[in-house]
Amino acid sequence: MFNSDLMKRLSDCFGPSGREKRIREMIIDEIKNFADEITIDPLGNLIARKKGTGKKILFSAHMDQIGLIITHVDEKGFLRFANVGGLNAKELLGLRMVFDNGLEGVICQEELKDKEKLTTGKLFLDVASTDKEFIVNNFRVGDMCVFKSEYYETKDCVICKAADDRIGCYVLIEALKNHPKTNNDVYYVFSVQEEVGCRGAKTAGYNINPDLAIAVDVTATGDAPDGIKMDVKLGNGAAIKLMDKSIITHTEVKDLLTDIAEKNNIKYQYEILEFGGTDAGPIHTSRDGVPSGVISIPTRNLHTSGEIFNKFDVEECIKLVIGTTAK
């Protein structure tokens, strides 16, 4: 059964890269009765451990979402910003943004001589106030904001912001809650700052030094008219990544995941992504190397305020994570 309430709370929770405090606290609250040990490392990664004497397995899903950072506040309520994570100017125009304190703004553009040359520097956030004191007291250089958008679901799919990678966090939370009987020493890592370069994963990977690492993140699909050519489709199950720009999945990990999926009747599909990377990137090259792979949740419309995934795929991903833990 898909836990819509949990996913909605995960999606709505404020947590752009580097400001993951709220989402971390929310997740701790959710999992505190299920983990043997909870630690937070210097970068802010949340590590929930289920102790064991067997192999060390690390699962990683990132808590952070993309957003904007305010670089200039003028007294008229026009804020300048830079992006936090992958976003470009054309995608931002007209969007509604929300700050940690609940205040909102709309992204507008300067007068442009050449409409094609729209850059982030030509945009500004209008926070809808003519009260100078209000503006100066509530908005500071360094504040961050994220998309404002509503969670919505149909019978089989969900539209929400930050499915990347709150749906990965959802998968790990559900897997942890249903942690199987096993000797393995399992680390559920909710990592920070993936969107700005998989930074949390680097230190978590070094610190834990596992025998096997699996990142749980979203991937694109090829089943929409948006021009992306991939074999991955919504509803076709958990995607087992073969390659992206950050990792070529170890053959033995690919075989392991395939084997677990087949033996447990989990629907799966193979995935090759021509662009992008995940936490598995820095983890698999840490120290003298870590055999690694990625379980992906197929998602359309990535890095927008309305990412779309399929609930069945999510269930299959959870089963695959649990299956891996048990092996």
Partner 1 sequence: MFLNELTKLSGVSGCEFEVRNYIKSKLSEMGCPFYVDKLGNIIAHNKGKKNKTIMVSAHMDEVGLIVTNIDNDGFIKFKAVGGIDQRVLNSKVVVIGENNIPGVIGSKAVHLMTEKERGGSLPIDKLYIDIGTSTKEETEKLVNIGDYAAFKGDYVEFGDNMIKAKALDNRVGCSIILEILKEKLDADFYGVFTVMEEVGLRGAETAAYQLEPDLGIVLEGTVCADMPKVEEHESSTLIGKGAVLSLMDNATVYDINLVRSVAKIAEDNNIAYQYRRSTSGANDAGVIHKAKKGAKVVSISVPCRYIHSSVSVASKNDLMSALKLTKQVIIEKQKGE
Partner 2 sequence: MLKEFLFDICSNQFVSGFEHINGDILIKYFKPYTDSFEKDRLGSYIFKSSGSKNTKIMLAAHIDEIGLMVTGILDGGFLSFITVGGFNPASLIAQDVTIYGKEKIFGVIGIKPPHLTSEEERKKPIKTKELYIDTGYTKEKLEKLITIGDIATINREPLSLQGSVISAKALDDRACVAVMLETAKELKKISHKSNVYFTATAQEETGLRGAKTSSYKIAPDIGIVLDVGFGKTPDMPSDSAQLGKGPIVAYGGRLNTKLTKKFVEICKKYNYPMQYEAIPVRTGTDTDALQISRDGIPCILLSIPLRYMHTSVETIDLKDLEITGKAIARFINELDNSDLEEILCF
Tokens of 263: 């033996």
Q: Does 243 bind partner 2 (CB under 8 A)?
A: yes
Cβ at position 196, least distance to partner 1 in Å: 6
Q: Say which entry of partner 2, partner 1, none residue 4 contacts (CB below 5 to 8 A, set by partner kind).
A: none
Q: Which is nearer to partner 2, 70 or 239 (CB)?
A: 239
Distance of alpha carbon 236 from the chain centroid: 21
Nearest to 271 by CA among 214, 204, 222: 222
Which C-beta is closer to partner 1: that of 18 or that of 293? 18
Active site residue 110: no
Least distance in Å: CB of 142 to partner 1? 4
Pairing of strands 96-99, 144-147: antiparallel
Residue of the chain from 106, 196, 272, 326 that contacts partner 2 (CB under 8 A): 272
Task: Identify the helix (H) or strand (E) that includes residue 25.
Answer: helix 21-31
For 167, half-sphere exposure in the C-beta direction (CA atoms, 13 angstrom radius) is 32
Range in contact with partner 1 (rule: CB under 8 A) among 171-179, 203-211, 258-266, 269-277 = 203-211
Site for partner 1 in 248-307 (CB under 8 A): none
Q: Active site residue: 20, 174, 194, 316, which one?
A: 194
- Name which of residues 71 to 100 contact partner 1 (CB under 8 A): 71-72, 74, 80, 82, 84
Q: How far is residue 278's CA from residue 147's CA, in Å, rounded to a whole number?
A: 22
What is the spatial distance between Cα 110 and Cα 107, in angstroms, rounded to a whole number? 10
Quote the CA–CA distance of 217 and 61 in Å, as a whole number: 6
Are the beta carbons of 290 and 210 closer than 8 angstroms? yes
Chain Cα centroid distance, residue 232 = 19
3-state class of 131 per DSSP?
coil
Check residue 246 for interaction with partner 1 (CB under 8 A). no
Binder of partner 2 out of 254, 264, 306, 326 (CB under 8 A): 254
d(CA 194, CA 175): 21
Residue from the set 28, 196, 242, 302 that interacts with partner 2 by CB under 8 A:
242
List interacting residues with partner 1 (CB under 8 A): 17-19, 41-45, 69, 71-72, 74, 80, 82, 84, 121, 141-142, 193, 196-197, 199-200, 202-203, 206-207
Active-site positions read 194
- Residues near partner 2 (CB under 8 A): 229-231, 242-243, 248-251, 254, 270, 272, 274, 284-285, 287-291
